[in-house]
Amino acid sequence: MSNTTLENSATAMMPRRRSGSGGKRRFTWGKATPYLLIIPAILFELLIHVVPMVVGVWMSFIQLTQFYITNWLEAPFIGFDNFKVALDFTNPLGQQLAESFGLTFAFTVLTVGVSWLFGMSASIVLHRSFRGRGLLRTLFLIPYAIPAYAGIITWKFIFQRDTGLLNEFLVNVLHVTGDAPFWLIGDNAFWSLVIVAVWQQWPFAFLMIMAGMQSIPEELFEAAAIDGANDWQQIRYVTLGLMKPVNAVLLLLLFLWTFREFNTPFVLFGARPPDSANLLVVTIYQSSFIQWNFGLGAAMSVLLMLFLILVAALWALWNRRVRRDA
Amino acid sequence: MKIRFLAAGATVAAAALALSACSPGAEPAPTPTDADKPYAGTVLQYWATNQGSSLDNDVEILQPELDKFEELTGIKVELEVIPWSDMTNNTLAAAVSGQGPDVVNIGNTNATTLNTTGAFLPFAGEDLAAIGGAEKFYESAWETTGPAGVDPTSIPLYSQVYGLFYNLALFEEAGLEPPTTWEELLAAAEELTDADAGTWGIVAPAGTVNVAMHIQYIFANQAGGSPFTADGEPDFVTDENVEGVRQYLDLMATQKVMNPSNAQYTDGGQATADFAGGKIGMYMAQTGNVNALRANGMEPTEYGVVPVPAPRGSDQVGSFIAGTNISIFEFSKNKEAALEFVKFMTSPEESEILNKAYGTLPPVRDVPATAFEAYPELMDMWTEILADYAIPMAQVPTVSAYQANVGGGVVGLFGNAATGSTITDDDIRAMLTEAQQKMATG
Amino acid sequence: MHESRSFRAFRWIVLVPLILFTTVPLYVMVTSSIKPLGDVQGTFSWIPREITIQPFIDIWTTVPLGLYFWNTVVVATTATACSVIIAIFASYALSRYSFRGRGGFAGVVLSTQMFPGVLFLLPLFIIFVNIDRALGFTFLYQTHLGLIVTYLTFTLPFSIWMLASYMDGIPRELDEAARVDGTTAMGALFRVVLPAARPGIIAVAVYSFMSAWGEILFASQMTNSATRTLSIGLQAYSTEVNVYWNQVMAASLVVSVPIVVGFLILQRYLVAGLTAGAVK
């Protein structure tokens, strides 16, 4: 994204400014504008994100347990010891962390992928106006309006083995199987988690994609139609093509958020999720914060952050190449 | 048009910011006026836990007592009721920042952990005498305040114990007597279990981590052992601890008197709802469950309570002492007034009133558990369990780690048992070994 | 605008499952909200055995729902207004200008998305408390303002990022056309870019509002009984005595109604921007 604006600015803005009317004053003001615009945002970011993050990283290098909570400046500096514990794969804690990592990755890819697919499909299908479109769009956004806690609890009821709607339907109505399966424990728990996460997330993807799609001028579709493109080709070249910037950012952010998902597994499975659905942030929370070992928790969080930085860097590289081709 | 909208938005934002900046802060202002009321005029801040049926219910119960206290001493108490989901975080934040209330309730399983933080006032010497001394309380309840030899930083307020609830109608129909040994319990449960009809001998929230820890602790002690050595070090991989897990797990895994679906129950309420449904024979639950059952439509006339039995020949441990304690923050500027308040809250008169309102047991000696006065048998039973069958939870700073690692491990095993795996003793040992290894990282 | 048959089929293949997927849990929520507590966790039945509207009455007393609702409205609206205003300026700069440090800013914005919230909590809390101590009165801790400021930090990065992407999609020719006419950069922003970016602004405003509306972790720390918000308030239906599931569902439905109505109204504004025709 930064590259596009770089290119555009270089070609479009600079010559314009130089040839425009007004002298030195205009030029200075023009140069100062971006900084003025950004300053409020930076101030907030510094105070509320950057400083706590730095403190958080510092916490990972000290032995911050219940014993030092009240005088945390005196907690002993232990360098990378917390990290060593977290990455020690011979210890069950390290093993659990590694397993969690893999599971969370799979969960994230699945959830984001399916949510995006649903959002894109619904946006395409609801792009052109027809009677009831407004109602349908609102209907699809309702899960986004409902407090997450209530939504997840509802799914918990649905997934109950004996009293839930899903088994009632599968066993008593469809007669798919005689023995009611478990959805909240065992291997199925992973899929239950994905289903609930998608249910909550796809309306948001739908909203963002819808907004982006509305900015595509209608003329482009008409022009493509005149050129002989059918509906599918129009979608592929016009819609998807022009949505690339929005989609790219949306996918990255959804990935980052989903990877850090905490509420959904915590409310669905309680303090000890089943092994198949043991997501990373829950593991971090349970093996450190709950046990009052904040230094260890901070270290594991830093490791998480490093991985996500890697993901973002890879994304930036891919994005840059995509833009160069486009 | 857009500018107008933005200007409007900015004005709204500015106004809201200005409005929200004016929030009251509590400032202590001790100005003694009366010799009888040396701390009159002081304002205390008190964080109470949610013990009643709603946050408002807690205010309804506590406010009259706080008004009474103000009349007696001239000390005003500002009350905040905190939901349990936030309590640990809020207490932690207060301890870290040095900013918070003067007095706070804590769950007594956290007592020793919080003791080690240094954030709370130790009750020793004069301060201990100021609240009435240790002799005021039942010995068993007093032991929940911390390890021997260490000054306690919390005082017992409301006590709860586990009991075995049993469905009177089902027992009568099957001609069964309430069990006095674990073997009798298993026999009764097997008699009552009819999976096809949906009747089960026993229910338990098998997916709940803290209950799993509680039960494992009780059963391990029945077998004569403990998860911790005398020095407070974790020692999980012992026969007694394995037995502690085995006895609980077998209900589902071996005797099959517990519905495998119970492995999904991540909070006690789900098990309570089941028991109230009338198709369950027995339920191990705490005192407060009486109120919960009532809210689910089951009256004390429909069930009886006996101590949780032990296997023949084992130690007669029926429960550990659960409940809520009260603490004073070390950073409080009104320590003397706070001590007065704690003394008031644990006075025999107040102990009876509050425990009656909450359906819990008074930890203060010779105070009747009037919450149950309508059901004298029940009242006697709870008092008996508290006095004779209950032991304190291990008073070690790593209790929460024990809960997360062993409790969590037991829940994991239940999940496996429910989905059909057989759990061998080696599996249990492996789980306990893993839990122990995780403790070392803490 | 002729739709091929395959496209029409595609429409149904997409819509029907999505409609079912969305509505079935909603149905469960609605029926749970009108059942007596014992039935909520009991054996499932498509039609509730017993219907009662008592939960809808009780929700206002079990928990001070009205107060929490008001608190949440205040906090979410303010955070959204501030977030959108700041984001508009910042994303305009990001989209239209090149300046040194912009890469760094983008990096910082992105990095904030990578830290688990739990870790922010303690340091942020300490910062707020110390600011209050320095100022001498309760300015941030457990006030509306403290929560608003906290939420701004969540919503700003995404808002700026997304809005900048939307703005990237608005052809620069529009700005230039306006500038040639003699307006300043700010004028170009307000007169030309913003109207064209309206769908993006709406989307970002909705996101900011909903994030503040549903945030749990920080609200649990930064509020007291006077400033508590809905997301925490809902958890308070889980009391010591019981969890009032039917009331949780009832309360959730009640507080969602205004939001859904809002969505319905906003439909109108999620329409094609004014880019078309402007360049000509």
Question: What Å distances lie between residue B278 and A51, B141, B208, B303, CA to CA?
Answer: 56, 33, 22, 10
Enumerate residues 6+ apart whose C-beta is below 8 A from A77. A61, A62
Interatomic CA distance for residues B287 and C136, integer angstroms: 45
pLDDT bin (cut points 50, 70, 90) of residue C239 is confident
DSSP state of B77: E
Measured N-to-C along each axis, helices C198-214 and C65-96 cross at an angle, to the nearest 10 degrees, of 140
pLDDT value of residue B14 = 43
pLDDT value of residue A41 = 65
Residues C152, B118 contacting (CB under 8 angstroms)? no
Is A218 within 8 Å of chain C by CB? yes
- What are the chain C neighbours of A8 within 8 Å (beta carbons)? 172
Question: What Å distances lie between residue A166 and B8, B317, C139, C271, CA to CA?
Answer: 49, 42, 49, 38
Task: Please write the tens of the pLDDT for every residue from C11-60.
Answer: 889 999 999 999 999 999 999 898 887 777 777 777 888 888 888 988 88
Query: Quick one: A284 exposed, middle or buried, by C-beta within 10 A (0-12, 13-18, 19+)?
Result: buried
Question: What Å distances lie between residue B79 and B47, B100, C138, CA to CA?
Answer: 6, 12, 18
Query: Quick one: C103 exposed, middle or buried, by C-beta within 10 A (0-12, 13-18, 19+)?
Result: middle
CATH class of A89-325: mainly alpha
How is chain B split into domains, by residue range? 7-160+321-391, 162-317+395-441
pLDDT value of residue B326 = 95
How is chain A split into domains, by residue range? 89-325
pLDDT value of residue B32 = 46
> By C-alpha distance, which of C237, C54, B197, C23 is closest to A165?
C23
DSSP state of B101: -
Residue bearing the bigger pLDDT, B215 or A74? B215
Residues B120, B90 contacting (CB under 8 angstroms)? no
pLDDT value of residue B149 = 83
B410 to chain A: closest CA residue: A272
pLDDT bin (cut points 50, 70, 90) of residue B424 is very high
Interatomic CA distance for residues C164 and C218, integer angstroms: 27
Amino acid at B301: T
Task: Please write the tens of the pLDDT for every residue from B340-389.
Answer: 999 999 999 999 999 999 889 999 988 888 888 889 999 999 989 988 89
pLDDT score of A314 more than 80: yes
Interatomic CA distance for residues B342 and B345, integer angstroms: 5
Interatomic CA distance for residues A282 and A315, integer angstroms: 26
Interatomic CA distance for residues A199 and C17, integer angstroms: 12
Number of residues that make up chain A: 326
Question: What Å distances lie between residue A59 and A52, A62, A299, C121, C221, CA to CA?
Answer: 10, 6, 8, 12, 19
pLDDT value of residue C139 = 63
Which candidate from C103, C123, C186 shows the least CB-CB separation from A52? Answer: C123
pLDDT bin (cut points 50, 70, 90) of residue A149 is confident
> By C-alpha distance, which of B134, B131, B136 is closest to B337?
B131
pLDDT value of residue C211 = 85
pLDDT value of residue A31 = 55
Q: Provide the 10 A C-beta neighbour count for residue B422.
A: 9
Residues A312, A256 contacting (CB under 8 angstroms)? yes
pLDDT bin (cut points 50, 70, 90) of residue B22 is very low
pLDDT value of residue B49 = 92
Measured N-to-C along each axis, helices B425-441 and B239-253 cross at an angle, to the nearest 10 degrees, of 120
Q: What is the mean pLDDT of residues C97-112?
A: 66
| DSSP characters over B326-377 | EEEBTT-S-HHHHHHHHHHHTSHHHHHHHHHHHT-B--BTT---GGGTTSHH
pLDDT bin (cut points 50, 70, 90) of residue B17 is very low
pLDDT score of A155 more than 50: yes
Q: What is the mean pLDDT of residues C222-240?
A: 81
For B440, half-sphere exposure in the C-beta direction (CA atoms, 13 angstrom radius) is: 14
Interatomic CA distance for residues B430 and B424, integer angstroms: 10
Neighboring chains of B (3 or more beta-carbon pairs < 8 A) = A, C
Interatomic CA distance for residues C133 and B331, integer angstroms: 14
Query: Quick one: A324 exposed, middle or buried, by C-beta within 10 A (0-12, 13-18, 19+)?
Result: exposed
Phi, psi of C255 (to 5 degrees): -75, -20
Q: What is the mean pLDDT of residues B270-299?
A: 90
Task: Please write the tens of the pLDDT for every residue from C183-221.
Answer: 776 777 777 778 878 888 888 888 889 888 888 877 877
pLDDT value of residue B11 = 43
Residues A276, A299 contacting (CB under 8 angstroms)? no
Task: Please write the tens of the pLDDT for every residue from B129-160.
Answer: 888 888 899 888 888 888 888 899 999 999 99
Neighboring chains of C (3 or more beta-carbon pairs < 8 A) = A, B
Which candidate from B2, B53, B85 shows the least CB-CB separation from C194? Answer: B2
Is A309 within 8 Å of chain C by CB? yes
Residues C126, B97 contacting (CB under 8 angstroms)? yes
Percent of chain B with pLDDT over 90: 57
Q: Residue C180's Cα: distance from chain center in Å? A: 38
pLDDT value of residue A37 = 61
Residue in this structure with the two tokens 């424990």, named with its chain if needed: A185
Interatomic CA distance for residues A110 and B184, integer angstroms: 50
- What are the chain A neighbours of C275 within 8 Å (beta carbons)? 215, 217
Interatomic CA distance for residues B69 and B66, integer angstroms: 5
Residue in this structure with the two tokens 């508009």, named with its chain if needed: C88
Interatomic CA distance for residues B33 and B209, integer angstroms: 51
Residue bearing the bigger pLDDT, A226 or A205? A205
CATH class of B7-160+321-391: alpha beta
- What are the chain C neighbours of A6 within 8 Å (beta carbons)? 98
Tokens coding B266: 């991540």
ipTM of the complex: 0.82
Enumerate residues 6+ apart whose C-beta is below 8 A from B230. none
pLDDT value of residue C279 = 34
Q: Which residues pair with A77 in a beta bridge?
A: A62
Question: What Å distances lie between residue A253 and A144, A246, A312, C35, C215, CA to CA?
Answer: 17, 11, 9, 39, 17
Which candidate from B17, B57, B99 shows the least CB-CB separation from C141? Answer: B99
How do B280-286 and B200-203 pair as beta strands?
parallel
The alpha carbon of residue C34 is apart from the nearest alpha carbon of chain B, in Å, by 16
- Burial code (b: 16+ CB inside 10 Å, e: under 16) for A130-149 equals eeeebebbbbbbbbbbbbbb
Answer whether CATH 3.30.565.10 is correct for domain B162-317+395-441: no
> By C-alpha distance, which of B134, B131, B133 is closest to B336?
B131
Question: What Å distances lie between residue B48 and B102, B247, B354, C129, CA to CA?
Answer: 11, 36, 12, 21
Query: Count H helices, E strands: chain C?
Result: 14, 0
How do B43-49 and B103-107 pair as beta strands?
parallel
Q: What is the mean pLDDT of residues B7-20?
A: 41
pLDDT bin (cut points 50, 70, 90) of residue A1 is very low
Terminal alpha carbon distance of chain C: 23
Interatomic CA distance for residues A323 and C22, integer angstroms: 36
pLDDT value of residue B268 = 86
Q: Provide the 10 A C-beta neighbour count for residue A129.
A: 9
Phi, psi of C242 (to 5 degrees): -160, 165
The pLDDT mean for chain A works out to 81
Interatomic CA distance for residues B279 and B198, integer angstroms: 7
- What are the chain A neighbours of C4 within 8 Å (beta carbons)? 230-232
Q: Provide the 10 A C-beta neighbour count for residue A279.
A: 27
Measured N-to-C along each axis, helices C5-33 and A148-159 cross at an angle, to the nearest 10 degrees, of 90
> By C-alpha distance, which of B375, B381, B362 is closest to B308?
B381
DSSP state of B24: -
Is A159 within 8 Å of chain C by CB? no
pLDDT score of B24 more than 60: no
The pLDDT mean for chain C works out to 79
| DSSP characters over B287-308 | TTHHHHHHHTT--GGGEEEEPP
Task: Please write the tens of the pLDDT for every residue from A66-117.
Answer: 788 777 777 888 889 889 888 888 888 888 999 999 999 999 999 999 999 9
Is A274 in contact with B412 (Cβ distance < 8 A)? yes
Tokens coding C79: 């955070």
The alpha carbon of residue C233 is apart from the nearest alpha carbon of chain B, in Å, by 9
In chain A, which among 76-135 make CB contacts under 8 A with chain C? 118, 121-122, 125, 128, 134-135
B408 to chain A: closest CA residue: A272
pLDDT score of B119 more than 60: yes
| Own/partner pairs, B12-20, CB within 8 angstroms, 24+ separation | B12/C77, B12/C78, B12/C81, B13/C78, B13/C81, B13/C82, B13/C85, B16/C74, B16/C77, B16/C78, B16/C81, B16/C144, B16/C148, B17/C78, B17/C145, B17/C148, B19/C144, B20/C74, B20/C78, B20/C143, B20/C144, B20/C145, B20/C148
Task: Please write the tens of the pLDDT for every residue from C46-96.
Answer: 788 888 888 898 888 888 888 999 999 999 999 999 888 888 888 887 777
Interatomic CA distance for residues B34 and A227, integer angstroms: 95
pLDDT value of residue C175 = 76
Tokens coding A171: 């066993």
pLDDT value of residue B330 = 92
Is A185 in contact with B209 (Cβ distance < 8 A)? no
